[in-house]
Amino acid sequence: MSEGISQPDQPQELEGEGKDLFSKFDDIIALREGLLSQGREDPFNLVMEKVLSPTRAICNGRETILLGTYNYMGMTFDPDVVEAGKQALADFGSGTTGSRVLNGTYQGHKECEQALKDFYDMDHAMVFSTGYQANLGIISTIAGKGDYIVLDIDSHASIWDGCAMGQAEVVPFKHNDIEAMEKRLKRIPADAGKLVVLEGVYSMLGDVAPLKEMVAIAKKYGAMVLVDEAHSMGFIGENGRGVVEDAGVIDDVDFIIGTFSKSVGTVGGFCVSNHPKFEIMRLVCRPYVFTASLPPSVVATAETSIRKLMHGSNKRAHLWENSKNLHKGLRELGFKLGTEEPQSAIIAVVMPDLEQGAAMWEALIRNGLYVNLARPPATPANMTLLRCSLCAEHSEEEVGQILEIFEKSGKEVGII
């Protein structure tokens, strides 16, 4: 699901002037100014003055526990990862200054793609400059005019934007609804090109897709399947390959999309596939062709991190314990959560409304805890959420401190 802010209707016309293209944002500007006029801190403009570790930073001059990053496996400060980046910076310089199809493919890019092929045990891997560009590029290139894309209504903004860019016919279905998905597929002409796009973990509530059933239905109707594993890669599955591995469907999906900005701990995106014609994507995928490639230091850190994640079973086990303990503790304190049971490293705390959610976020940061404030229309069912993202480097003691801060802050605001 998109974490951005939607855009209201058409621009208004100003008297004696042309249309003000910014007037479409007036409602959002008014809402933001209303919140800030109450003396609240802007939850969307936090500055981390110094990052101390994967789990702690200096925010507003005080040490703060980080529970709102995507650093699921805690790789950002791994000594081997950091050293690989330093060495690549010294050996290859600060950037490539070119596209992958021109001068922008260094040895490090190929080594990073090889690490992905080894990690997923797949034939092809293609690295993009961001995870957003991976979805944008792959979806828009393989599904165009005359094709159909069947997707979950709660899909991430990058998925929706890929659909729009490719101009395929978009057929959404109710979130995680297997029956609704099949009904949509039934209505599509049998001989039409069909792509089903799913996510392993949905980022707002942290819930997991029923991939086993959905992939089987997609194949029944002759559709290709793309799964975005951004929030599960590195953590879920025996080898950290995501929900596709956990559900036993990794050999049945056609494309897996992922990002380096979460469990891998850097920036970038990728697609892996076993499709025999996949390599042609390097010549026809516009978001891959028409942008500069990742800097050498970034692909070096990514490659090192990916290879370490192959042996990250202990970290995965500890992260699951953290998720279970935090979920249980928040429920016992009386908070309403987005899922009945912990399903991923994301735990969403449901707030009564935006005003109380903003007040609770401010109390948490004041008491030394950073989480994400997520608001409509980015959230499902118009919910206001405090989204907690756990890290494998959170200690048992830190999880206890997190619960203490939630209890204190909830009582200050009057939510519990």
pLDDT per residue as tens digits for the range 127-169: 999 999 999 999 999 999 999 999 999 999 999 999 999 999 9
Q: Which of 14-28, 196-210, 253-267, 401-415 shows the lowest mean pLDDT across its residues?
A: 14-28
The answer, yes or no, to whether residue 259 has pLDDT greater than 50, is yes
Q: Tell me: do 190 and 289 sit in the same domain.
A: yes
User: What's residue 12's pLDDT?
Assistant: 57
Per the structure, the count of domains in the chain is 2
Integer Cα distance of 122 and 23 in angstroms: 48
The answer, yes or no, to whether residue 196 has pLDDT greater than 80, is yes
Q: Tell me: do 402 and 343 sit in the same domain.
A: yes
- The pTM (predicted TM-score) of the whole model is 0.93
User: What's residue 2's pLDDT?
Assistant: 40
The answer, yes or no, to whether residue 370 has pLDDT greater than 50, is yes
For residues 21, 26, 28, 30, the Cα torsion angle rounded to the nearest 10 degrees is 150
Above pLDDT 90, what percent of the chain?
89
Q: Tell me: do 63 and 182 sit in the same domain.
A: no
User: What's residue 204's pLDDT?
Assistant: 96
In a domain, 353, yes or no: yes
Q: Tell me: do 85 and 222 sit in the same domain.
A: yes
The answer, yes or no, to whether residue 194 has pLDDT greater than 80, is yes
Q: Tell me: do 254 and 347 sit in the same domain.
A: no
Residue 343 sits in a domain of what CATH number?
A: 3.90.1150.10
Query: Domain containing 49: what range?
Result: 39-73+313-413
Q: What is the mean pLDDT of residues 409-414?
A: 98
The answer, yes or no, to whether residue 6 has pLDDT greater than 50, is no
The answer, yes or no, to whether residue 354 has pLDDT greater than 80, is yes
Rounded to 5 degrees, φ, ψ at 282 are -65, -20
Q: Tell me: do 218 and 361 sit in the same domain.
A: no
DSSP assignments along 89-124, one per residue:
HHHH-S---SBTTTT---HHHHHHHHHHHHHHT-SE
**Which of the pair, 30 or 123, is modelled with greater confidence?**
123
The answer, yes or no, to whether residue 14 has pLDDT greater than 80, is no
Residue 203 sits in a domain of what CATH number?
A: 3.40.640.10
Of 309, 338, 362, which residue sits at a domain end? 309
Sorting pLDDT into bands at 50, 70 and 90, what band is 41? confident
User: What's residue 108's pLDDT?
Assistant: 99
In a domain, 269, yes or no: yes
Q: Tell me: do 88 and 136 sit in the same domain.
A: yes
pLDDT per residue as tens digits for the range 133-143: 999 999 999 99
Sorting pLDDT into bands at 50, 70 and 90, what band is 35? confident
Of 309, 330, 364, which residue sits at a domain end? 309
Q: Tell me: do 144 and 85 sit in the same domain.
A: yes
Sorting pLDDT into bands at 50, 70 and 90, what band is 1? very low
Q: Tell me: do 392 and 291 sit in the same domain.
A: no
Of 276, 294, 309, which residue sits at a domain end? 309
Q: Tell me: do 209 and 166 sit in the same domain.
A: yes
Integer Cα distance of 187 and 64 in angstroms: 52
Q: Tell me: do 131 and 240 sit in the same domain.
A: yes
pLDDT per residue as tens digits for the range 62-119: 999 999 999 999 999 999 999 999 999 999 999 999 999 999 999 999 999 999 999 9
Q: What's the mean per-residue pLDDT of the chain?
A: 95
Integer Cα distance of 40 and 386 in angstroms: 16
Sorting pLDDT into bands at 50, 70 and 90, what band is 357? very high
In a domain, 25, yes or no: no
For residues 305, 306, 310, 311, the Cα torsion angle rounded to the nearest 10 degrees is 0
Sorting pLDDT into bands at 50, 70 and 90, what band is 320? very high
In a domain, 359, yes or no: yes
In a domain, 146, yes or no: yes
Sorting pLDDT into bands at 50, 70 and 90, what band is 231? very high
User: What's residue 364's pLDDT?
Assistant: 98
The answer, yes or no, to whether residue 15 has pLDDT greater than 90, is no
Q: Tell me: do 109 and 221 sit in the same domain.
A: yes
3 state SS of 7:
coil
In a domain, 165, yes or no: yes
User: Residue 397 to residues 64, 193, 370: CA-CA distances in angstroms?
Assistant: 14, 52, 16
In a domain, 133, yes or no: yes
In a domain, 14, yes or no: no
User: What's residue 8's pLDDT?
Assistant: 47
